[in-house]
Amino acid sequence: MAGVVRVVLRAALLWLAESVRAEEMVRRAPLTRLLVNRFVAGEDVGAALATARALDVRGLDCSLDLLGENAADEASAAAAGQAYLALLDQIQAAGLPGNISIKLTMLGLDISDESAWEKLEAIVERADELGMFVRIDMEGSEYTERTLGLFRRIHDLYPTAVGIVLQSYLYRTDRDLDEMIERGARVRIVKGAYKEPETVAYPHKNDVDDAFRRQIERLLDGGTYPAIATHDEAIIRMTQGYALRMSVDRSRFEFQMLYGIGRGRQEALAAEGYSMRVYVPYGTSWYPYFMRRLAERPANVLFIVRQLFRS
């Protein structure tokens, strides 16, 4: 019964992530800010860089992500491209070891592939010049093939400066993973956080977990510095055990976790000699990201409900 409730609640939260009216209500609720601050480093780059410095002191790497998606016009897409270029320079000037994560819809993918390509090429070229790294996030399944197409183009030009994210819950991911391993691309593997139809994605958690484990093993066997992005303790232990059995050195892969979740576990992994990177989102467009985090961890909804009753 509890499992059914979680599934229904997750579906509802993912639906709310796309609701303009729900966003207006959530943004007006003062108690929401308590939980938003847990997941989002701040609304400006200064706050994000301060968080990156604090993580560095604790022995943790970071990937900074300016929140936003689905730019509706060329002016918005161009502004996002300039913001990412500035972010690379600001990280470099601060002497921080972090990299950045970007979303192609924020760079104009809804306008056209070429609109997104123009900004993407400029960003990755700058990262390459600075000796930095850009991770292209994967969005909903309607963008998967177009995202991979643009990734192939940019990876051909700058193979050490750019990587991709693949989502285990999509049926196609085993095939995509083989291609990325063959081309030597750096892959971040995640379970997936968007609402997808059963025609393209595994509908059941057990099937997603099985695919995730299978793909992690494949990456540890033949991948180029893969990133295992998970908070699932069973998956973490499975990754550690498989790496040990197959003599995969800890320097050949990294764990990744979200800002605000599992801080103690992040530090413990770093203390054990694993590379540990924290995904640090910031910016004013936090609502869709925030709702997807709630969908991944419905227990956070109970936190909000308790606060409402106490007030």
pLDDT at residue 92, rounded to an integer: 95
Residues of the chain with pLDDT under 50: 1-2, 5, 307-309, 311
pLDDT at residue 254, rounded to an integer: 98
- Catalytic residue at 263? no
pLDDT at residue 5, rounded to an integer: 45
Catalytic residue among 61, 137, 176, 209: 137
- Catalytic residue at 188? yes
Catalytic residue among 10, 188, 277, 293: 188
Over residues 198-237, the pLDDT tens digits come to 999 999 999 999 999 999 999 999 999 999 999 999 999 9
pLDDT at residue 287, rounded to an integer: 72
CB 214, CB 174: distance < 8 Å: yes
pLDDT at residue 222, rounded to an integer: 97
pLDDT at residue 181, rounded to an integer: 98
Domains and CATH numbers, the chain: 41-285 (3.20.20.220)
pLDDT at residue 27, rounded to an integer: 59
